[in-house]
Amino acid sequence: MSVSDQQAAAYAALRPDLQAVADLTPPGAKVLDLGCGDGALLDFLVRHKQARGRGIELSEAGVMACVRRGLSVRQGPLEEGLADYPTASFDVVILSQTLPFLDNPAAILAEMLRVGKSALVSFPNWGYWRCRLELLLTGRVPLAPDLPQPWFDAPRWQVVSITDFAQFCQRVGIAITAEIYLNRGRRVRIIKVKNLLATTAVFRLERQAWSGQM
Amino acid sequence: MFPPNSVGLVKTQTLTFAEDEPFQLESGAALRPVTLAYETYGRLNADRSNAILICHALSGGAHAAGYLAPDDAQPGWWDDCIGPGKAFDTDRFFVICSNTLGSCYGSSGPSSVEPATGEPYGLRFPVVTIGDMVRAQVKLLDHLGIDRLLAVAGGSMGGMQVLEWAAHHPQRVRAAIPIATTARHSPMLIAFSEVGRQAIYADPAWNHGDYYTSGKRPDAGLSVARMVGHITYLSDESMQQKFGRRLQGRERYGYEFLTEFEIESYLKHNGDKFTRRFDANSYLYVTKALDYFDLAGRHGGRLAAAFDGSTELAFLVISFTSDWLYPSYHSKELVKALTAAGCDVSYLDIESSWGHDAFLVEVETMTRLLGSFLDRLAGET
C-alpha cells in the first residue's frame, strides 16, 4: 500500500465525527486530545497530519492502547490534566463526543481555550427532529442517535442541542469559526435548520475577546 | 538447562575507576578508588543506540537476569522482565544493570576494603546519595562507550536513579521510565527508613558498624529492618489475600510467644533470609541515600525546574493503585511537573492489589506497556 492509500484507509476507519475533526486540524499542529480513548484519532493526526500529539484519558485500557500505539497519553481526569499545561501550549485542543458527560462543561471549555489557541468539539445533538418527536409522542427522554446510551447507564450524560451550545458560546464570548454537521455519520450541508437535521455537530471554537472569565 | 526465554548463564563484571583522581561525592567527601559491579545482556548494536540501563531498588544488585551458575536455583531479580521476548527484549536491546554505590553486591560500599587500612570501611565509608550512584553509572557508560542510552528504567529506588538521570544527565538518555517511585522522599518514607536503621543500631553485634572481623553480625537488627520493609511493600489487601489470619503449621492458638500466624512466619523467614544476603551497614547507607533524595529541593523547591533541560526525553511514568509506600500522588506530582516543564510524558496508574511489590509482580501488564513504549523509541532511531 502506498502512503496515500494507507492514509485513505486510516481516514476511512475513523469515526465520522473524528474524520471531521481531522479535516479541521491543520497539518503540523500541536494537538491535545481530551478523552482520547484508544488513540485512534491522535494516531491518525500524528502519522498523517504531522501533528505533535498529546492525550488525556481516564481509563487504564485506553491509556494502555495509546502507549502501545506509541502515543504520549496521561491517565487522569480532564480537569486535573488540563490544569498542568501552560497557557497557549497547543494549537488545537480536541473534545470529541465527550461534552454530554462532563460535570462542568463551562470550566472545561474555558480551560481548553486557555491551553489551546483553538478547540475542536464534537457532540451529539438532542435537537434532532426525531428526538423532539420521540419526547412528544412517547413521553420518553430521547436517546441521541449518535449516543445510544440509556439514561440509567454510567457515565451519566446531559442532554444538549446545537442551539443550546451556540447560545452558550455567544454568552461566554466563544466564536464558532468552523462548523461541520453530520446526520448519522453522513455530512450534510445545511445552513438554517441544522438543529433539526443534524445528529452530530463538529465546531471549531476560538476566543472572541478574552474577558478572563466565563 | 535454563528456560527458553532466559538470557542463560551470565557473569558479573567489575569496573574500577578513580584510582588516581578521587571520585567527588555530593557530601563533599571523596572516594578512591570506586568499583562498580555490573552485568550486561543482549548485544550492543553497531551504532551503540540500543542500550537500556536498569536501576535496582534498595536491596537489589547487578544480577538482574539469568543465572550465575548452571545449578543456580533463582534467576536475577528482574528476570521476569529482562530476556528474549520479554519487556526489555534482549534480542533487540543491550541491557545493563549495575550495583549501586554503597551496596554490597560487588560495588564499593561499607563492606569494601579501605585501601589506607586494609580493613573493611565500616562507617568510615562516606555517605553517598542517589546523585552519586548515578554519576558512578555515568562512568560505567563512558567505559562501555555508550553516549546515549535508549532508556533508563527502574522501580522504587531504581526510579529515583531514573529521575536523577533525566534531571541531571538528560543528554545521555532518550527515554526515562520511573516506576512506583517519587521525586522527593516523604517524611513517612524517612520514618520507615529510620525504624530500620534504629533496629540495626540497637543490635549489640552492630558495634558502630565495626563487625566484619568480630565474627558476630547484627543479623537480629537487620532482620527486623527487613521485616518492617516487607510490611511496607505489601498492602492490606494483599496481606488479606496471601495470609489472612491463617496459622502456620498449627490448628489453634498456643497462647505463647512463638511465631503463630502465617504473616509472622513470612516476615521472619524473609528477615532471616535477608541477613544471609545483605550487609547491615549497606542497609544504613542505602536508606540514607533514599532519605536525602529530593529533586525539587535541589531546584529551589520547584520540581518542574529540575526538568527544564529534559524536554528532549520521553517519559513513561508508572504507579500502582495499592502502593501506599510510594502512593500514586507522588507520580501524579511528577507528571504535573514534567508537563509544566514541557516534557513528553505518558502516565499510567495500574490497577493492582499488590502494593509496592506490584512493580515486580504485575509482569504481564508491564510487559505489554513497556514493550510497545520501547518499540516506538527503537523505531525512531
| DSSP string over B177-216 | EEES--SB--HHHHHHHHHHHHHHHTSGGGGGG--TTTS-
Average pLDDT over residues B243-266: 95
A106 is in which domain, residue-wise?
A: 3-125+160-207
Which helix or strand (DSSP H or E) is residue A81 part of?
A: helix A78-83
Q: Chain B interface residues facing chain A, Cβ-Cβ under 8 Å?
A: 314, 316, 332, 335-336, 339-340, 342, 344-351, 365, 368-369, 372-373, 375-376, 379
* pLDDT the model gives residue B64: 98
Cα–Cα distance list, B140 to A201, B17, B20, B85 (Å): 58, 9, 17, 26
Nearest Cα of chain A lies from the Cα of B314 at a distance, in angstroms, of 8
Q: How far is A38 from chain B (nearest CA, A)?
A: 14
Closest alpha carbon within chain A to B380:
A70
Domain-embedded: residue A149: no
pLDDT > 70 in chain B, percent: 99
Last residue of a domain, one of B230, B258, B285: B285
- Per-residue pLDDT of chain A (214 residues), as tens digits, is 787 898 999 999 999 999 999 999 999 999 999 999 999 999 999 999 999 999 999 999 999 999 989 899 999 999 999 999 999 999 999 999 999 999 999 999 999 999 999 999 999 999 999 999 999 999 999 999 999 899 999 888 999 999 999 999 999 999 999 999 999 999 998 778 999 999 999 999 999 865 545 4
Q: Quick one: pLDDT at residue A2? A: 81
Q: What is the pLDDT of residue A214?
A: 47
Note the pLDDT of residue B221.
98
For chain B, the domain total comes to 2
pLDDT of residue B89: 95
B-chain residues within 8 Å CB-CB of A111? Answer: none
Q: Which of residues 44-73 of A touch B (CB under 8 A)?
A: 54, 60, 63-64, 66-73
Residues in contact with A57: Cβ distance below 8 Å, sequence separation at least 6, in sequence order: A35, A36, A37, A39, A63, A66, A73, A74, A75
Nearest C-alpha in A relative to B329: A76
Interface check A34 vs B, CB under 8 A: no
Q: Are B41 and B95 in contact (CB under 8 A)?
A: yes
Q: Where does a domain end: B285, B311, B333?
A: B285
CATH value at residue A113 = 3.40.50.150
Half-sphere exposure at residue B33, Cβ-oriented, CA atoms within 13 angstroms: 11
- Convert the pLDDT of each residue in B281-294 to its tens digit: 999 999 999 999 99
Cβ-contact B357, B300 below 8 angstroms:
no
Number of H helices, E strands in chain B: 11, 12
How many domains would you assign to chain A?
1
In-domain check, residue A145: no
Q: CB neighbours of A135 closer than 8 A, spacing ≥ 6?
A: A141, A142
A151 domain residue, yes or no: no
**Rounded to an integer, what distance in angstroms lies between the CA atom of residue A188 and that of residue A195?**
12
Instruction: Tell me if B259 is assigned to some domain.
Output: yes
Q: Is A27 exposed, middle or buried (0-12, 13-18, 19+ CB in 10 A)?
A: exposed
Query: Is residue A135 in a domain?
Result: no
* Residue numbers of B annotated as active site: 156, 323, 356
Condensed to tens digits (0 to 9), the pLDDT of residues B145-163 reads: 999 999 999 999 999 999 9
Q: Do B63 and B132 fall into the same domain?
A: yes
Of A60, A70, A84, the CB nearest to B348: A60
Give this complex's ipTM. 0.89
Chain B residues with CB under 8 Å of A67 CB are 316, 346, 348, 369, 372-373
Rounded Cα–Cα distance for residues B85 and A181 (Å): 47
C-alpha cell at B281: 551497614
Which of B316, B344, B350 faces A60 most closely, judged by CB atoms?
A: B350
Q: What angle do CA B263, B277, B123 make, to 5 degrees?
A: 110
pLDDT at res. A191: 76
From residue A101, give the alpha-carbon distance in Å to each of A104, A111, A164.
9, 16, 16
pLDDT at residue A3, as a whole number: 79
Closest among B171, B172, B138, B148 to B15, alpha carbons compared: B138
- Å from A37 to nearest chain B CA? 14
At B165 the pLDDT is: 98
Nearest CA in chain B to A77: B332
pLDDT one-digit tens code per residue, B296-346: 999 999 999 999 999 999 999 999 999 999 999 999 999 999 999 999 999
The mean of the pLDDT values for chain B is 96
Cis before residue B3, ω within 30 degrees of 0? Answer: no
